[in-house]
Structure 1
Amino acid sequence: MSNEIAARTSIGTVQLRVSQLQQSLEFYQSVVGLRLLSQDRTSAELGVPDSERPLLRLIEIANAVPRPRRSGAGLYHAALLLPDRRSLGLALRNLIASGIHVGQSDHLVSEALYISDPDNNGIEIYRDRPRHEWQWDANGHVRMAVDPIDWDGLLAEAGDAPWNGLPAGTTVGHIHLHVTELPTTEHFYVDVLGFNLVAHMADSAMFISAGGYHHHIGLNVWAGVGATLTPDTAPGLDYFEIALPDEEAQMAVFARLQAASVPLRTNQGTVIVHDPSGIQIHIVVRGSA
Structure 2
Amino acid sequence: MTHISDIELGEVKLKVSNLERSIKFYQEVVGLKMLNQEAKTAELTADGKNALLVLEEIPGAVVVPPRSASGLYHFAILLPTRKDLGLSLRNLIESGIHIGQADHLVSEALYISDPDHNGIEIYRDRPRETWTRDEKGNYNMATDPIDWEGLLEEAKGEAWTGLPAGTTMGHVHVHVSDLQKSKQFYCDVLGFDITANYMSRMGALFISAGGYHHHLGLNIWAGNGAPMPPVNGTGLAYYTIVVPDQEELDNVVGQLRNAGISAEEEAGAWFVKDPSGIQLKLTTK
| TM-score, reference length from structure 2 | 0.97
**Equivalents in 2 of 1:55, 1:126: separation in Å?**
15
2:99 maps to 102
Q: 1:183 aligns with which of 172, 177, 180?
A: 180
2:226 maps to 227
Deviations 1:84-110 (A, max 9, x none): 000000000000000000000000000
Could you tell me which amino acid in structure 2 is paired with residue 224 of structure 1? G
**Equivalents in 2 of 1:264, 1:48: separation in Å?**
30
**Equivalents in 1 of 2:76, 2:153: separation in Å?**
23
1:62 maps to 59
Deviations 1:55-95 (A, max 9, x none): 00000001213222111000000100000000000000000
Report the RMSD for the aligned CA atoms in angstroms: 1.0
The reply to whether residue 42 of structure 1 matches residue 33 of structure 2 is no
4+ runs deviating over 2 angstroms: 137-140
**Equivalents in 2 of 1:165, 1:235: separation in Å?**
25
1:272 maps to 271
Q: 1:112 aligns with which of 109, 119, 136?
A: 109
Aligned positions of 1:1-289 closer than 5 A: 3-5=2-4, 7-49=5-47, 51-201=48-198, 202-286=201-285
Could you tell me which amino acid in structure 2 is paired with residue 169 of structure 1? G
Deviations 1:175-198 (A, max 9, x none): 000000100000000000000011
Provide structure 2 residue ranges, at least 5 long, that are not aligned to the other structure.
none
Could you tell me which amino acid in structure 2 is paired with residue 267 of structure 1? E
Aligned to 1:56, what secondary structure does the other structure show? Answer: strand
Q: Number of aligned residue pairs: give it.
A: 283
**Does the CA-based 8 Å contact 1:81-1:170 persist in structure 2?**
yes
Deviations 1:143-194 (A, max 9, x none): 1011111111100111120000000100000000000010000000000000
Deviations 1:239-272 (A, max 9, x none): 0111101011111111111111111111221111
| 1:203 shift after superposition | 4.4
Could you tell me which amino acid in structure 1 is paired with residue 121 of structure 2? E
Aligned to 1:215, what secondary structure does the other structure show? Answer: coil
| 1:52 shift after superposition | 1.2
Aligned to 1:243, what secondary structure does the other structure show? Answer: strand
Between 96-105 and 193-202, the greater mean CA deviation after superposition: 193-202
Could you tell me which amino acid in structure 2 is paired with residue 18 of structure 1? V
**Does the CA-based 8 Å contact 1:264-1:272 persist in structure 2?**
yes
| TM-score, reference length from structure 1 | 0.96
Aligned to 2:51, what secondary structure does the other structure show? Answer: coil
Provide structure 1 residue ranges, at least 5 long, that are not aligned to the other structure.
none
Could you tell me which amino acid in structure 2 is paired with residue 87 of structure 1? D
Could you tell me which amino acid in structure 2 is paired with residue 284 of structure 1? T
Aligned to 1:55, what secondary structure does the other structure show? Answer: strand
**Equivalents in 2 of 1:185, 1:31: separation in Å?**
33
**Equivalents in 2 of 1:230, 1:204: separation in Å?**
20
